[in-house]
Structure 1
Amino acid sequence: MSTQAPASSQLFPSFETNNFYAGNTLNRASWLRSSSSFLNKALHSSRPSARIIVLQHGNPLVHGSGTSEGHLATLPWSRIASSLGRQALQDVFGAEINGLHRPANIRNKDQEEQEKVSEKDWKRATDSFVPPGLDIVFLGILQDGDSMTQQGQDQTNEIKGVPYFALSLTHRSPRGAQTTEQDTKDAQGLERLQEELLKEGYDFVDTRALAQAGSWPAGDAAMIAEARSLVDWNERMNYCPACSRRQYSLWGGWKRCCSSGLLPVLEELSSGASQSNTHLVRSLLGTSSASNSASSDSGEVLLDGKPPCPASGTLSNFSYPRTDPTVIMGIVSPDGNSILLGRQKRWPKGFWSCLAGFLEPGESVEEAVKREVLEESGVEVKSVTYHSSQPWPFPANLMIGCLGVASTTTIRLDLDAELEDARFFSREEVLPALEASAGWTLKRHELAAVDEDAGKKEEQIRKERERLGLKGDANARGRRLSGKEEFDKKDSGSVANVTSRSRSRSAGRVPRAAFKIPGPTAIAHVLIASWARGEAHIAGAPLHDGAQSGVNRGKM
C-alpha cells in the first residue's frame, strides 16, 4: 500500500465540514425565551403539534423495534401531560401559573415604611419560571421555509413551524432539599412515564454507542446535543455559586436564578397576607418559617437568615448555560507521512485517538494545541491550522478540531502521565483503520470503560429494567448490525466528509486493521481521515504528490 496521500477529490472539504451533533436547523428564538405566554403557546400548539425529546440520564428516547429502530423518538406534550397528572392544556411556564405573585408592598427591615417591589426586579426573578419539579427546556422551532415573524414580546401571530422541547425523566430535587406537594407529584409522574415508555418497547441509548446514530439526519443529532447539554446544566446547577441558596430555572430552561430573588414574598408574608405560594418559596429558600435569625460579617441579614446574594442584580456568567472549549488535534510528523495518536489505560484494547485537552484561561486555540501536545506526549508543535468544530454534549464541550505539524517526534509520557501510550502511525497503518471504523461504534461496555460516568448511568438503567421485569437490551447486537447497513444510506449531512471510499462493496470486505480509532460520528475520526486522504490544508506541512493538491486552487 502506498504511503502517499491520495489526490483530493474535492476542494477543501475540511473547510465545509458539518460534524455529527452540529447542523442544528432549529430557530432558537432566543428573544422569546423570557415570554411565558409564548412558551406555553408553543408547548400546546397542535397544528403542528409540539414535539418533546425525552431523556433518561441524558440518553434520548429511541424506537426499540420496527423500521425506525434505533432512531430518535419524540412525543407530543399531551402524551406526557397525562402521565404527569397534568391537564393537556394546562400552562407550565410562568410565575402566576406556579403560584407566584408580585408583592404589592413590603416593609423594610426596620418596619418603618412600605416599599413597592419594582416590576423589573420581579420579572428578573420570575420570567418564564419553570416549576422546580420539572427539567423542561425550550429548544427552538423547526421551520419549513417560512421565517419566524414574532418580534420582541409580540406573540399575536400563530407559531409557524414545529416547537421542540426537551424533558428529563430522571430529574429530581437535590438530596436533602425541601420539596412541595407538586414536586412529589411531578417526580412520581416522571417515574410513571419512564416505566410506561420502557414497557411500550422504547429504549434510551447513549448516541456514542448507537450504530444507527451515524445515519440520523443531521438535525436530529444536533437537537440531542442542545437538549442534553441544557438538561444536564439545569440538573447540576442546584445551588447558587455566590451564596449557596437553591437555584431554579427561568427562560424556559436557559437561565438559572438564585432563590434570594423570591425573598420579597416572605417579607410580604411577615407584614400581612400573601397571595403567593409560600410553600414553594420556602422550599426553594430552605426556610420553615417566615423568618430566621443569623449573624453576618456584613451585619445585614435577610429573612432567610443569610446575607444578601453578591450576584443579586448583576450579570453573572453562572446564570447562563456554559460551554467548555476543548482542543482536539491531529498532529502530523515533520515529513507529513504519519500522525500522532494516543491511548489512555482505561480505553478498550487496541483503541487509539487524537490528543485532546481543555483550553486554559488566557490561552489561544493555537497555544492550547501546542501546550496539550507537549504535556501529553512530549512532542513540540510548530504550526497549527483550524479544521472544524463539533458540539460534544458530554456534558457541554465544544471540540475545536485542529491539525498541526510537529517539529520533533520523540515521545515522552512522564510530564502529566495522562496517556498510557502515544506514537506516530503511518498512512499505511491508518487507512485500514479508517475503513474498518466507517460503520463502527463503541459497544456499551466499551463506552463505560471510556467514560466512567456513562458506566454508572448504564448500571442505573440496567437496574431499572430489572425492577420492571424487562430484559436487558436484547437486540443490541442486531441494532449494531443494522446500523452498519444503514451507514451507507445516511443523510449526506449527518456525518462529515468521512464516507468510505476504498471498501469493496461487491465483496463487502473491509481491510484488516491493526488497531481501532473512533467512528465517524467523532471529530477525531474526521481529523484523521482528512489527513490520511489528503483532503486537509495543513499550514507548514510539506507538499506531496496529491496531498494538499487543492491548496492553490481553493480558498480558505
Structure 2
Amino acid sequence: MPEQPANPEPAHHNIDSMLSRKFGKEVANYFSGNPLNRVGFLREKHDFLDQALKHPSTSFLPCNNLQPLVKTGYKTGDYLQFVKYDEIKPIIGDGPYDLTEKEVLARYNSEQYIPQMIFLGIDEKDKQGLTYQGKNEYTGAPYFAIDVTPKAGVKDACEKLIKSLEERGLTFAPGRVMEIDATHAALYAEARMLLDWNQRNPYCGACGNTTMSVNGGFKRACPPKDLAKEASQQDRPPCVTRNRISNLSFPRTDPTVIMAIVNSSNTKILLGRQKVWPPYWYSTLAGFAEPAESIEEAVRREVYEEAGVHVGRVVIHSTQPWPYPANLMIGAIGQAIPEGETIDLGNDPELDDAKWVDFEELKFSLKVGTSGLSEDPGPDYKEGGLRLPPSTAIAHQLMQAAANGFVTEGAKL
C-alpha cells in the first residue's frame, strides 16, 4: 500500500488511570494532536500579539489559496515550512497590533485590504520562546498563519515573497494535504479552517455590512464606523452584534457523523460507495448532524436514509478535525438490530452501492488494499479486491476497531 504518515500519539498515553484501564488509550486521528497551547484568552490582548508577532522565536506559516508552504517535491512524513517576521513584514506592515482591538475597530476602512493572519498558539516546549506576563506567566514560541495569496494592495509584496520562497526550493502543497507529519498536519488544519472561515464571512449576518477580523483571527466583528465613507456617512446603523456578545460571529465547525456499523452477530461491517469513487473502493457511511439531533440519533438516521439499515446501540469511538472546509468528524460504532439488517438504497440516492463485508475480508483489505482516492493500492493488492481508505482517515480507524473486537470487548479502543 502507499506509505502513509503515522497518526499522532494520543494525549497522556503513558499515564495509567481507571479510565485508560477500562477503555484503553485514547484514539488520536490525523489532523488532531495539535502540539500548541492555543492560549485563546490572550487573543484579545494586542500587547501580547504584538510581542508574539515580533519575537525571534516566532514562526509564520504562509498559505497561498489556503495551501501551506512545503518543500518542493515533498513526500510522506515531510514537515511544513515556516518563515520569520522580517519576511512577512512587507506584507503586514509595521504594527498591526499597535492599537487595541477597540481602537482598530474604530479606525476600520473597508477599502483597505488587511492580509489575514491567524494566531495559532505557543509551543511551550521551546523555553527560549516569548515570556508574557498576564495574570499568569506564559512562555513558548508563538506560531501564526498568514494568507500570502497575491491580491489587493499587497499583490506585489506577496508575489515577491512567493518568488523568494520558490528560489529556496519551497512551494505550496497541491490538493488535499494528507502526507505531512501528523504534528504539522494538526497545525495546518487549524490554519486552514480559520483562514477559510474568515474568507467566507466578509459580511455581518445581522446588518449585512462588511466585517473585520479580530481576536487573532478567531472572531469577526461589525465595526461601528467605516472611514472609507464620506464624513457624514461614516457612522454605520446600529447592529445587534455590537451590543450582545452572544451574537458576535465566531468560527464555524460543522459536526459530521461517520460510523462503522456491524451486524447483530458482530461478524460483518456495513460499507458503502459513491459512484465517483474508484472501482471496488468502499468506506464507512457518513453525514452531517442536523439541528436538535444527538450524535447517536444522527448515526441512526444517516444509516437508515442511505442504506435502509436500522441501528440499535451507538458508541462514540473517536473524533477527527477535517479542514475541508470546517468539519469535526465524530466517529462512532453502532450495531444493527437483528430484524433491521436488510439493505435498501431506495430512500436516498447518495450511495451507488452498499454491502455487508465479512470481517476476514475486511482485515485482509486493511492490510493490502488501502489508499487515498487518487492513489493506487499497494503492490499486494489484486484487481477486484476490496479497496479502503488509508490510515490517516478516521474511517480506517473505525474499521480497524470493529474488526478487532470493539463490540465483543465492550468499549475497549
Q: TM-score, normalised by structure 1?
A: 0.63
**Letter aligned with residue 195 of structure 1:** K
**Letter aligned with residue 333 of structure 2:** L
Give CA-to-partner distance per residue, 1:493-539, whole Å, 9 cap, x none: xxxxxxxxxxxxxxx856777122111111011001111223x2x3x
Give CA-to-partner distance per residue, 1:275-307, whole Å, 9 cap, x none: xxxxxx31xxxx3x2235xxxxxxxxxx55x64
SS for the counterpart of 1:331 is strand
* TM alignment of 1:20-419, pairs within 5 A: 20-46=30-56, 49-65=57-73, 70-82=78-90, 84=91, 86=93, 90-95=94-99, 122=102, 125=105, 132-144=113-125, 150=132, 152=134, 160-170=139-149, 172=151, 184=153, 186-205=154-173, 208=176, 210=178, 212-213=179-180, 216=181, 218-259=182-223, 261-262=224-225, 281-282=227-228, 287=229, 289-292=230-233, 303=234, 307-317=237-247, 319-407=249-337, 408-419=340-351
TM-aligned CA deviation for residue 226 of structure 1: 0.8
Separation in structure 2 between the aligned mates of residue 384 and residue 67 of structure 1, nearest angstrom: 38
Residues 1:167 and 1:188: Cα distance change in structure 2 (over 3 Å): same
Q: What fraction of aligned residue pairs are identical, expressed as a percent?
A: 38
Is the contact made by 1:332 and 1:339 (CA closer than 8 Å) also made in structure 2? yes
1:441 aligns with 2:404: no
Give CA-to-partner distance per residue, 1:233-274, whole Å, 9 cap, x none: 111111111111111111121111113x235xxxxxxxxxxx
Separation in structure 2 between the aligned mates of residue 531 and residue 14 of structure 1, nearest angstrom: 15
Separation in structure 2 between the aligned mates of residue 129 and residue 393 of structure 1, nearest angstrom: 30
Is the contact made by 1:136 and 1:253 (CA closer than 8 Å) also made in structure 2? yes
Separation in structure 1 between the aligned mates of residue 382 and residue 38 of structure 2, nearest angstrom: 44
Is the contact made by 1:36 and 1:127 (CA closer than 8 Å) also made in structure 2? no
TM-aligned CA deviation for residue 347 of structure 1: 2.2
Residues 1:12 and 1:195: Cα distance change in structure 2 (over 3 Å): farther
**Letter aligned with residue 291 of structure 1:** S
Is the contact made by 2:308 and 2:344 (CA closer than 8 Å) also made in structure 1? yes
Is the contact made by 1:436 and 1:512 (CA closer than 8 Å) also made in structure 2? no
Is the contact made by 1:382 and 1:405 (CA closer than 8 Å) also made in structure 2? yes
- Specify the alignment match of 1:107 in structure 2: none
SS for the counterpart of 1:518 is coil
Is the contact made by 1:377 and 1:412 (CA closer than 8 Å) also made in structure 2? yes
SS for the counterpart of 1:225 is helix
**Letter aligned with residue 32 of structure 2:** A
Q: 1:533 aligns with which of 384, 395, 404?
A: 404
**Letter aligned with residue 234 of structure 1:** N
Separation in structure 2 between the aligned mates of residue 531 and residue 68 of structure 1, nearest angstrom: 27
Q: Please provide the CA RMSD for this pair.
A: 3.4
1:432 aligns with 2:413: no
Separation in structure 2 between the aligned mates of residue 11 and residue 513 of structure 1, nearest angstrom: 41
Give CA-to-partner distance per residue, 1:430-479, whole Å, 9 cap, x none: 122211256x3343xx7xxxxxxxxxxxxxxxxxxxxxxxxxxxxxxxxx
Residues 1:71 and 1:150: Cα distance change in structure 2 (over 3 Å): closer
Residues 1:148 and 1:28: Cα distance change in structure 2 (over 3 Å): farther
Residues 1:207 and 1:391: Cα distance change in structure 2 (over 3 Å): farther
- Specify the alignment match of 1:274 in structure 2: none
SS for the counterpart of 2:241 is coil
Separation in structure 1 between the aligned mates of residue 341 and residue 248 of structure 2, nearest angstrom: 41
Separation in structure 1 between the aligned mates of residue 161 and residue 345 of structure 2, nearest angstrom: 49
> Unpaired segments of 5 or more residues in structure 2?
1-19
TM-aligned CA deviation for residue 310 of structure 1: 2.9
**Letter aligned with residue 412 of structure 1:** D
SS for the counterpart of 1:391 is strand
Q: Which has the higher contact order (CA 8 A, sep 6+)?
A: 1
* TM alignment of 1:491-530, pairs within 5 A: 509=380, 514-530=385-401
TM-aligned CA deviation for residue 361 of structure 1: 1.1
Separation in structure 2 between the aligned mates of residue 441 and residue 555 of structure 1, nearest angstrom: 28
Give CA-to-partner distance per residue, 1:304-331, whole Å, 9 cap, x none: 5x64223221124551112111111000
**Letter aligned with residue 289 of structure 2:** L
TM-aligned CA deviation for residue 30 of structure 1: 1.3
- The alignment covers a number of residue pairs equal to 390
Is the contact made by 2:368 and 2:380 (CA closer than 8 Å) also made in structure 1? no
Q: 1:19 aligns with which of 25, 29, 43?
A: 29
Give CA-to-partner distance per residue, 1:98-146, whole Å, 9 cap, x none: xxxxxxxxxxxxxxxxxxxxxxx94694699998421111000001176
Q: TM-score, normalised by structure 2?
A: 0.83
TM-aligned CA deviation for residue 200 of structure 1: 3.4
- Specify the alignment match of 2:352 in structure 1: 420
SS for the counterpart of 1:388 is strand
TM-aligned CA deviation for residue 193 of structure 1: 2.0
Residues 1:36 and 1:85: Cα distance change in structure 2 (over 3 Å): closer
Separation in structure 1 between the aligned mates of residue 77 and residue 27 of structure 2, nearest angstrom: 28
Separation in structure 1 between the aligned mates of residue 184 and residue 50 of structure 2, nearest angstrom: 23
